[in-house]
Amino acid sequence: MNNAFTNLFGNRAIVVNAIAASFKKLDPRIQVRNPVMFAVFLGSILTTLLWLNMLRGKSDESPWFVLGVTVWLWFTVLFANFAEAIAEGHGKAQADSLKKSRTTVIAHKLADPKQHAVATEVSASDLLVNEYVIVRAGETIPADGEVVEGVASVDESAITGESAPVVRESGGDRSSVTGGTRVISDWLVVQVKTLPGQSFLDRMIAMVEGAKRQKTPNEIALAILLSALTLIFLIVVATLLPFSKFSVEVSGQGEVITITVLVALFVCLAPTTIGALLSAIGIAGMNRLSKANVVAMSGRAVEAAGDVDVLLLDKTGTITLGNRQATRFVAAAASTEQQLAEAAHLASLADETAEGRSIAVLAKKQFGLRGRDLTQSHHEFLPFSARTRMSGVSIDGHEIRKGAAEAIENHVRSLGGFLPDEVRQAVQTIARAGGTPLVVSRDERVLGTIELKDIVKGGIKERFAELRQMGIKTVMITGDNALTAAAIAAEAGVDDFLAEATPEAKLKLIREYQKGGRLVAMTGDGTNDAPALAQADVAVAMNSGTQAAKEAGNMVDLDSNPTKLIEIVNIGKQLLMTRGALTTFSIANDVAKYFAILPAAFATTYPVLKTLDVMRLTSPSSAIMSAVIFNAVIIIALIPLALRGAKYRPVGAVQLLRNNLLIYGVGGLIVPFVGIKGIDLLLATLGLA
């Protein structure tokens, strides 16, 4: 039972704190932020005053009925406060763990970044932007910044939760460091890029706490709609009192409707369910993103992720594994595949690159070739050189080489050989298919070609098919030539690609999509990605990337996993779907409440309305009380759904709407009938009807 409770609401500490916060949120200054629940709050005060007045004997209405309605109206307000507080509690729990990593740090400031020996000890809070600090092994990095000198292993577990250290070095896309992380080995000279209190860790804490969370456009629009509905119901209910008095005077029968019944009627007809849960849904959406190790710099970014219809994805590391791997041996006419594999294996023994290791793996897999003992032979390895564009080994008087076709052709010609036509054809075929051909030779004889390919990640094609079902277009971005890019795009199943991509080309592509009314998401980690990230609607910067990229994006992936973009889109869509589902359920709820409370409120004045009492409720007072109790209890019942989010499946918008109406629309009609009737029977059993 404890596990079920924890799964629904979180640990007991969060629940206890949320209960306390529910009462603190009764402050009118807080209540007024939610117009729907503020109206319920005022109604609760009004019925409380009526009940207190009744204690002085100034009313013919049953004090127990008024007290019962009043108590459950207050519960409605408290349950709404609890929903918001429980969502905030999950964020604050994560923020507290982050705060523990924020300690007072002494920084070693350098007057000259080249003179490491001359350092002044200062508090990290006194550092200014563009000042330099040196951080040695065992020390904590005092502020966010860029590495300008050195290379070191850094423990980022305080922020990312990953225990494995990462390498940070000057230059390239791994130069950004975060304040609060710790250097494990070697040293770094860091240029400070943020002021105290504005570090990435500070922003993370503020975001997960929700202190700076602003309502998104969709949420604001829905709040306006709910406020308008509330105002309409308020006007309608307010006119019922004079209308009731007039009817009683004219007909001479029935009773004038009471203020308590009018307040109950208003609360039951107003969209209180979604009004109570709206804020919790938004906060919970950001919490789910935080659990995925993504920090959103605004709620707007999370919502935009749900509306994205174009994804720009980097090829290397996102669509492909990141390193080209050997996939097959294509032997020349005068050689066999095994001869080619043996020579390629020998040429790769000293090759520690991913490509070189993959050649050895392929040779072992196809022909059982294993590492060879070279201690008894005379050999000399030739490392790869950009100038020669080949590598290999000279062993026992033989020269074995592997490399680019042109380089190998020049090499064998110098020895009196030539490049066979079938090898030349194989090279062209592999290149046209998007692969990289490596030609292998032994002395003056060309043995054949090794095909290296970008290996598309397993399951990525299916993920893209799901995105296509959701109406999202996928675009691969790569620096490869158009021929190679087309081959990878076809294999991966993306909808389009941008080859030979430059920062200007990425920016232009995003703007073109946005001019067409599309919402664009992309990932990036380098300074050259910053312009495009700043332009994209959802810009996910890698935590391992440069400071410029992180500042340009509106989300930061702490795991630095480019494929996380797909998960972010799912979370955004789940947020929108949850909000839509509960809105549908809330509005559908009102229909059942009409059949419960309207006949009860006007049965004496208009006996014909008794025919609407399809639930055959025990009495008018029981009907009103049952509806008010259900209206409050349903908020608590839906809190787990608001926190967890509605189950999302990658289907089209039409089918999604149909499912939404079927499950939450029809469900919203049926559940109140069952719930109100059940509560009525319980009240009757207890003798309270």
pLDDT band (50, 70, 90) for residue 454: confident
Task: List the binding residues for Mg(2+).
Answer: 525, 529
Q: Please report, in angstroms and rounded to a whole number, the separation of the first and last CA atoms in the chain.
A: 32
The tens digit of pLDDT for each residue in 617-648 reads 788 888 888 889 999 999 999 888 888 887 77
Of the candidates 387, 409, 366, 207, the one whose C-alpha atom is nearest the C-alpha of residue 290 is 207
Q: Does the pLDDT value for residue 400 go beyond 80?
A: yes
Average pLDDT (671-683) is: 89
Residue 342 clears pLDDT 60, i.e. is over it:
yes
Mean of pLDDT values over 300-306: 80
Q: For residue range 360-378, what is the model confidence (pLDDT) as tens digits? A: 888 888 888 776 656 667 7
**pTM of this prediction?**
0.65
Bigger pLDDT: 439 or 531? Answer: 439
Mean local confidence (pLDDT), 673-682:
89
308-319+457-558, CATH topology level: Rossmann fold (3.40.50)
pLDDT reported for residue 211: 40
Mean pLDDT in residue range 388-409: 88
Say what the pLDDT of residue 650 is: 67
Catalytic residue status for 496 = no
Has residue 616 got a pLDDT over 90? no
DSSP lists the bridge partners of residue 186 as 152
CA distance 570 to 559: 17
Confidence of residue 505 (pLDDT cuts 50, 70, 90): confident
Sign of the alpha-carbon dihedral angle for 507, 511, 513, 518 = positive
Give the pLDDT confidence of 106-149 residue by residue, as tens digits.
Answer: 888 888 888 887 788 888 878 888 889 999 888 888 888 888 88
Q: What is the pLDDT of residue 629?
A: 92
pLDDT tens digit sequence for 252-286: 776 778 888 889 888 888 888 888 888 888 777 77
- Closest by CA to 577, choosing from 287, 303, 308, is 303
What's the pLDDT score for residue 420? 92
Query: What average pLDDT does this structure show over 599-628?
Result: 77
Rg value, the chain, Cα = 34
* Residues 501/477, Cβ–Cβ less than 8 Å: yes
Q: Where exactly are the structural domains of the chain?
A: 1-94+209-292+569-686, 106-141+144-193, 308-319+457-558, 327-455
State how far the Cα of 476 lies from the Cα of 313, in Å rounded to an integer.
5
* Confidence (pLDDT) at 685: 87
What per-residue confidence (pLDDT) applies to 5?
Answer: 46
Q: Residue 103: CB partners within 8 Å, gap ≥ 6?
A: 140, 180
Tokens of 396: 């026992």
Per residue in 199-225, pLDDT tens? 666 665 665 555 444 566 677 788 888
Q: Are 200 and 550 contacting, i.e. CB atoms less than 8 angstroms apart?
A: yes
Question: In this model, does residue 583 exceed pLDDT 90?
Answer: no
Confidence of residue 426 (pLDDT cuts 50, 70, 90): very high
Q: Domain 327-455 is classified in which CATH homologous superfamily? A: Calcium-transporting ATPase, cytoplasmic domain N (3.40.1110.10)
Average model confidence (pLDDT) across the chain = 81
Instruction: Give tens-digit pLDDT for 3-58.
Output: 544 555 556 777 888 889 899 999 999 899 888 899 999 999 999 998 888 877 66
SS3 214: coil
Does this chain's domain 106-141+144-193 share its CATH topology with 327-455? no
pLDDT interval class at 689 (50, 70, 90)? low
Using an 8 Å Cβ cutoff, are 258 and 567 in contact?
no
Greatest mean pLDDT among 417-426, 492-501, 646-655 lies in: 417-426
Kindly tell me if the per-residue pLDDT of 350 is higher than 70: yes
The pLDDT-based confidence of 488 (bands split at 50, 70, 90) is: confident
Share of residues in the chain with pLDDT > 90 (%): 15
Catalytic residue among 144, 309, 314, 454: 314
Question: Is pLDDT larger for residue 373 or for residue 589?
Answer: 589
The letter for the amino acid at 175 is S
Q: What is the DSSP letter of 46?
A: H
Distance between CA 536 and CA 553 in Å, rounded? 8
The answer to which of 191-200, 240-249, 358-367 has the lowest mean pLDDT is 191-200
- Take residue 264 and report the two structure tokens written for it: 């109950």
Q: How confident is the model at residue 330 (pLDDT cuts 50, 70, 90)?
A: very high
Tell me: pLDDT of 103 over 80. no
Query: What is the C-alpha separation between 537 and 34, in angstroms, rounded?
Result: 28
Six-digit token string for 639: 């809190």
In the structure encoding, which two tokens stand for residue 229, read together?
């509905």
Q: Looking at the chain, how many residues does it have?
A: 689
Q: What is the DSSP string of 245-311?
A: HHHHHHH--S-PPPHHHHHHHHHHHS-HHHHHHHHHHHHHHHHHHHHTTEEES-HHHHHHHHH--EE
Under a CB-based contact definition with an 8 Å cutoff, are residues 634 and 273 in contact?
yes
pLDDT in the model for residue 388: 77
Topology classification of domain 106-141+144-193: 2.70.150
Q: For 457-480, what is each residue's pLDDT tens digit?
A: 878 888 888 888 778 898 988 877
Binding-site members for ATP are 351, 355, 384-391, 402
The binding site consists of: 351, 355, 384-391, 402, 525, 529
Mean pLDDT of all residues in 154-170:
69
- Going by pLDDT thresholds of 50, 70 and 90, the confidence category of residue 329 is very high
